[in-house]
C-alpha cells in the first residue's frame, strides 16, 4: 500500500488555535499495523418462520431472504471527543440518492455528509448510537441498512483526527486533513499510509501543511479504502484512520466532461455524484445528466424544452422556482443556498440574474467556480457557503489548477473587497476549526454570484429571453444567436496593453513565460496597468472576464458600499505576513475612473437592466483612491497616506484579525466551448 511522510515545522500543531473536534477513530498509541478495522454488515428481508405446518398455512407466500446490495463500514467503537465515520458501498450502480437517519443515541449535529454515502460526526456524549442509510435509485428501489457505534467515556490526552470519512467517485481527487487536539510533545512529524482497498495515489505539496491529496482508484463495484495518518512527537505516536467509499461510476465517455484529452473539457476528472436538492423537482430524473455528467455529448445535450432557463416562463422567479434547478453533492449546500436567496437578496438581484441559467451545481469537487455556456449552468465552489468546520471538512482542498502558473513571474497582483478600511470577509485557516457567521456570506458568496451570473447573462441576456427561445434547440445554440453583452462593453475604451494580455496567458492559462516577462518588475506592471482601462488584472484573459469583473465591482459598491482594491506588489521569497508584499501602485474604487466608468455602466445595462439607472447614478459618486506606494498590502487597508506622517497613520485602530496573505488568483474560470 502507498505511504507518504512529511516533517512539520513546530508551529503547525503546537500553535494556539490548533484545537479540533475529533474525526475518525479513537486515539491509539501503537505501531501502525495494530489498528483493528470493524465491519458491520446487515441483510435485508424479514422473518420467514412460523410454528405450524400445512394446517396452519394462511395462504401468505413465504418471504425469501435475499442478500443486501448495501454494506456499511466504519467506526463501531469510539470515545467521547472522537469524531466517527460511516460509509456505505453498493454492489450495483444506479443508486444516487442517500439519506441518513439517526435511530438511537444522544442527538448529534446535522450530518455534514448527509446526501452522500459517507458521513462523519463528533461524538460528544457516551452511549450507543445507531444510524440508518437508505440508498435509492431512479426507479424508486431502495436499499436500507443500519450501523451501530458504541461510544465510551474514554480518557483525556493527545488526539489526532484525519478528516473526513466520505464518499467519492472513482478517479476523483479529494483531500484529507490531519488535525490534532491537546497535543503534547515537540518536533512533530506526520505520515500517511493506505491500509486497505485498491491502491489510491497519495500526494502532498510544498505547503508544509498536514494535508493529503488523494486520487481515488478505478473500481469495479464500490470499494472502501482506509487511509491512516500518524503524527509523531517526542511523547509518542498518535494515529487515526479515515474510511472512504470509492463509488463505481459509468465510464467517462464525454468529450466535454472528459479525461483531459478533449479540446473542450470543462473538467478533467471524474465528477461527484450530485442530485436535485428538491426531491420533487420536475427535473429530478435528468437534471444531472443534462449538465454534470461524464457521459455528456453532442448527441444527448438537453433541449430548452427539457431543461429551460429559469426565466423562460417567469420574469420574477421565486426561490422555489430556482431551487428546482439546483444540484448538490451534500444536503447542507442546498440548504445554505436557499437561505442565501431567502435572506440575503433584498433587491432580488440574484433572482433576476438567475433567470438566465438552466441549473446551479454546488459540489465539493467544484474548484474553482465556473459558468459554462455549453449547458447554461453555473458551478459554485462551496468554499463560499460553509459555516461550520464539519461542513468545510467535506470540501476539497486540492489546489486550484492555476496555482503554479506564475512561478517564474516577479510580481503579484492582489485584489480584495473592503469597507470602512477593513476586509469584508477574511480567510479562515482550516486547521483552526473556525465557524463563521451567516452574514459573512453576503460579501463572499454575493461577489461570487455577481461574477458567475454576469457570465450567464452575457451569454443569455434578458433581451434574448424576451425575444423568444426555440424550445426544440439546445441552450448553447440559442445563446449563440444574437450579440453578446461583452461585445458592447468591448466597444467602449477597451484595454490596450498587449503586455498584460500576454501575461494573462502566463498567469491564468499556463503559457511559459518569456525571458522578458520573467524580468518585468512590479513598477513595469504598474506602468502597463494603471493607465489602461481594465478594472482588474483578470480582465485581460477575455472580454467575458473583462465584463464580469466590471459588473461584479459595480454591484458590490452599489448594493453593499464595498469597494475593490487592486494593486501590484513585489513577490517575496519567504513571506510571513501580508506586509511583506510592498505596494508598487494600487487603487481603490477603480470603476469610478473617468475612462472605466462608461464601460461599467454599459455592463450593468446589458446584464441587469433593472439596476442600470441606479448603478449609473452611483458610478458618478465613486472616486478612485490611490493606495500608499512603498507600504505593505496589509497596511494599505487605510490608504489615507497623502500628507500623513507614518507614526500618526499607524496609531489608528487596526483590524482584529491579521490581513490574509494576498493572492492574484481569481475564484472562477470559464471552460472552453466550440466557437460559433
What pLDDT sits at residue 206? 73
User: What are the DSSP calls for 207-250, one per residue?
Assistant: T--SEEEEEPPP-SS-EEEEEEEEEEETTEEEEEEEEEEEE---
Let me know if 275 is exposed, middle or buried by CB neighbors in 10 A (0-12, 13-18, 19+): buried
pLDDT of residue 668: 64
Separation CA 269–CA 290 (nearest Å): 18
Task: Tell me the helix, strand and coil percentages in the chain, rounded to 5.
Answer: 25, 25, 50
369 with 231, same domain? Answer: no
Residue found by looking up cell 458551478 in the block:
379
Q: Are 357 and 290 in contact, with CB atoms under 8 Å apart?
A: no
Tell me the β-bridge partners of 247.
169
Residue 62: inside a domain: no
Residue 396 covered by a domain: yes
The whole-number pLDDT of residue 294 equals 87
Averages of pLDDT over runs of 10 residues in the chain (676 residues) are: 58 34 28 28 30 42 60 93 90 93 91 91 90 93 96 80 93 91 78 96 85 94 95 86 94 76 68 93 96 90 97 96 97 97 97 98 91 94 94 88 76 94 86 92 96 97 95 96 95 97 91 95 98 97 96 98 96 89 96 98 98 98 95 89 53 58 65 59
Report yes or no on 492 lying in a domain: yes
Element (H, E) at 71: strand 70-74
Q: Residues near 178 by Cβ (< 8 Å), separated by ≥ 6?
A: 160, 161, 162, 163, 190, 192, 210, 211, 212, 229, 231, 240
Give CA–CA dist 486/544, Å, rounded. 6
DSSP 199-215: PPEEE--TT--SEEEEE
The verdict on residue 433 lying in a domain is no
User: What is the DSSP-derived secondary structure letter of residue 4?
Assistant: E
Interatomic CA distance for residues 32 and 3, integer angstroms? 11
242 and 334: one domain? Answer: no
CA atoms within 13 A on the CB side of 154: 22
Three cell numbers written together for 597: 466608468
Which grid coordinates belong to 38? 470493524
Residue whose C-alpha is closest to residue 260's, from 318, 215, 299: 215
For residue 323, tell me if it sits in a domain: yes
Same structural domain, 233 and 315: no
Assess contact for 56 and 136: CB atoms under 8 A.
no
Cell numbers that stand for 387 in this block: 459555516
Contact call for residues 35 and 241 (beta carbons, < 8 A): yes
> Long-range pairs for 313-322 at CB < 8 Å and ≥24 separation?
314/355, 315/355, 316/348, 316/351, 316/352, 317/351, 317/354, 317/355, 318/351, 319/351, 322/351, 322/354, 322/360
Pick the closest to residue 160 from 235, 214, 237, 80 (CA basis): 237
Domain region containing 20: 3-41+68-247
- Is there a single domain that holds both residue 494 and residue 357? yes
Q: How confident is the model at residue 39, as a pLDDT? A: 29
Select from 194, 355, 368, 168 the least CA-distant residue to 271: 168
Least Cα distance to 442 among 594, 272, 265, 560 occurs for 560
Do 299 and 173 share a structural domain? no
Q: Name the grid cell of 304.
A: 430548452
The Cα–Cα gap between 660 and 412 comes to: 14
135, 180: one domain? yes
Domain contains 252: no
Residue 306, pLDDT score: 97
Same domain, 531 and 418: yes
Cell output for 310: 429559469
pLDDT recorded at residue 6: 56
351: in domain: yes
Number of domains in the chain: 2
231, 346: one domain = no
Residue 21's pLDDT is 25
Do 139 and 236 fall within a single domain? yes
Rounded CA-CA distance 159/183 in Å is 7
Q: Is residue 344 part of a domain?
A: yes
In this structure, the answer to whether residues 126 and 165 fall within a common structural domain is: yes
Asked whether residue 236 falls in the same domain as residue 285, the answer is no
SS3 338: helix
**CATH number of the domain that 232 lies in?**
2.60.40.10
Please state, in angstroms and rounded to a whole number, the distance separating the CA atoms of residues 240 and 78: 11
Cα-flanking dihedrals φ and ψ of residue 122, to 5°? -85, 130
What does the alpha-carbon distance between residue 151 and residue 551 come to, in Å, rounded to a whole number? 53
232 and 352 assigned to the same domain:
no
Query: What is the rounded distance in angstroms from the CA atom of residue 646 to the CA atom of residue 634?
Result: 14
Encode 421-455: b = buried (16+ Cβ within 10 Å), e = exposed: eebbbbebebbebeebeeeebbbbbbbbbbbbbbb
Amino acid at each position: 500500500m502507498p505511504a507518504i511522510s512529511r516533517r512539520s515545522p513546530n508551529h503547525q500543531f503546537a500553535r494556539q488555535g490548533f484545537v479540533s473536534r475529533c474525526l475518525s477513530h479513537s486515539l491509539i498509541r501503537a505501531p501502525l499495523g495494530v489498528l483493528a478495522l470493524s465491519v458491520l454488515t446487515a441483510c435485508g428481508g424479514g422473518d420467514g418462520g412460523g410454528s405450524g405446518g400445512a394446517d396452519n398455512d394462511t395462504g401468505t407466500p413465504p418471504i425469501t431472504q435475499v442478500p443486501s446490495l448495501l454494506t456499511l463500514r466504519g467506526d463501531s467503537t469510539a470515545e467521547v471527543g472522537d469524531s466517527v465515520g460511516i460509509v456505505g458501498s453498493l454492489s450495483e450502480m444506479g443508486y444516487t440518492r442517500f439519506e441518513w437517519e439517526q435511530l438511537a443515541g444522544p442527538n448529534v449535529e446535522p450530518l455534514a455528509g448527509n446526501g452522500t454515502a459517507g458521513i462523519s460526526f463528533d461524538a460528544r456524549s457516551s452511549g450507543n448510537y445507531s444510524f440508518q442509510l437508505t440508498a435509492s435509485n431512479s426507479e424508486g428501489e431502495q436499499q436500507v441498512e443500519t450501523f451501530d457505534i458504541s461510544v465510551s467515556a474514554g480518557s483525556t490526552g493527545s488526539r489526532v483526527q484525519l478528516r473526513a470519512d466520505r464518499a467519492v467517485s472513482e478517479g476523483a481527487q479529494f483531500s484529507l486533513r490531519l488535525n490534532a487536539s491537546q497535543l503534547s510533545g515537540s518536533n512533530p512529524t506526520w505520515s500517511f499510509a493506505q491500509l486497505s482497498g485498491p491502491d489510491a495515489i497519495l500526494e502532498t505539496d510544498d505547503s508544509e501543511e498536514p494535508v493529503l491529496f488523494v486520487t481515488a482508484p478505478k473500481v469495479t463495484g464500490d470499494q472502501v479504502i482506509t487511509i491512516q495518518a500518524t503524527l509523531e512527537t517526542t511523547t509518542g505516536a498518535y494515529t487515526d484512520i479515515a474510511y472512504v467509499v470509492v463509488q463505481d461510476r459509468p465510464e467517462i465517455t464525454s468529450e466535454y466532461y472528459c479525461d483531459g484529452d478533449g479540446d473542450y473539457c470543462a473538467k478533467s476528472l471524474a465528477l461527484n455524484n450530485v442530485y436535485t436538492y428538491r426531491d420533487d423537482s420536475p427535473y429530478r430524473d435528468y437534471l444531472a445528466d443534462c449538465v454534470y455528467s461524464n457521459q455528456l455529448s453532442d448527441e444527448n445535450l438537453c433541449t430548452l424544452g427539457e431543461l429551460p432557463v429559469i426565466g423562460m416562463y417567469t420574469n420574477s422567479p421565486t426561490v422555489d422556482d430556482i431551487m428546482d434547478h439546483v444540484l448538490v453533492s451534500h444536503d447542507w449546500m442546498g440548504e445554505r443556498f436557499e437561505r442565501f436567496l431567502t435572506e440575503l437578496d433584498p433587491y432580488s438581484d440574484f433572482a433576476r440574474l438567475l433567470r438566465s441559467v438552466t441549473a446551479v451545481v454546488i459540489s465539493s469537487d467544484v474548484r474553482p467556480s465556473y459558468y459554462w455556456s455549453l449547458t447554461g449552468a453555473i458551478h459554485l465552489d462551496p468554499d463560499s457557503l460553509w459555516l461550520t468546520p464539519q461542513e468545510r471538512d467535506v470540501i476539497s482542498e486540492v489546489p486550484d489548477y492555476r496555482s503554479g502558473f506564475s512561478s517564474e513571474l516577479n510580481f503579484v497582483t492582489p485584489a480584495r473587497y473592503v469597507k470602512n478600511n477593513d476586509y469584508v470577509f477574511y480567510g479562515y485557516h482550516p486547521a483552526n476549526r473556525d465557524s463563521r457567521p451567516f452574514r459573512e456570506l453576503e460579501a463572499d458568496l454575493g461577489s461570487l454570484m455577481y461574477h458567475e451570473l454576469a457570465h450567464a447573462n452575457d451569454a443569455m441576456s434578458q433581451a434574448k429571453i424576451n425575444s423568444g427561445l426555440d424550445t426544440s434547440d439546445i441552450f448553447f445554440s440559442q445563446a449563440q444567436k444574437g450579440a453578446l453583452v461583452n461585445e458592447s462593453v468591448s466597444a467602449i475604451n477597451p484595454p490596450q496593453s498587449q503586455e498584460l494580455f500576454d501575461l494573462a496567458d502566463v498567469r491564468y492559462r499556463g503559457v511559459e513565460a518569456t525571458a522578458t516577462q520573467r524580468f518585468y518588475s512590479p513598477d513595469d506592471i504598474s506602468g502597463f496597468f494603471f493607465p489602461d482601462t481594465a478594472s482588474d488584472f483578470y480582465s485581460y484573459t477575455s472580454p467575458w472576464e473583462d465584463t464580469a469583473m466590471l459588473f461584479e465591482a459595480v454591484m458590490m459598491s452599489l448594493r453593499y458600499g464595498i469597494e475593490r482594491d487592486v494593486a501590484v506588489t513585489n513577490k517575496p521569497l519567504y513571506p510571513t505576513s501580508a506586509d511583506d508584499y510592498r505596494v508598487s501602485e494600487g487603487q481603490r474604487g477603480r470603476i469610478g475612473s473617468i475612462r472605466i466608468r462608461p464601460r461599467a455602466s454599459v455592463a450593468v445595462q446589458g446584464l441587469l437592466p433593472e439596476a442600470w439607472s441606479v448603478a449609473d447614478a452611483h458610478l458618478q459618486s465613486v472616486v478612485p483612491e490611490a493606495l500608499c506606494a512603498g507600504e505593505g498590502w496589509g497596511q494599505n487597508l487605510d490608504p489615507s497616506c497623502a500628507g500623513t506622517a507614518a507614526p500618526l497613520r499607524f496609531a489608528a485602530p487596526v483590524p482584529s484579525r491579521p490581513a490574509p496573505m494576498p493572492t492574484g488568483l481569481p475564484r472562477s474560470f470559464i471552460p472552453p466551448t466550440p466557437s460559433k
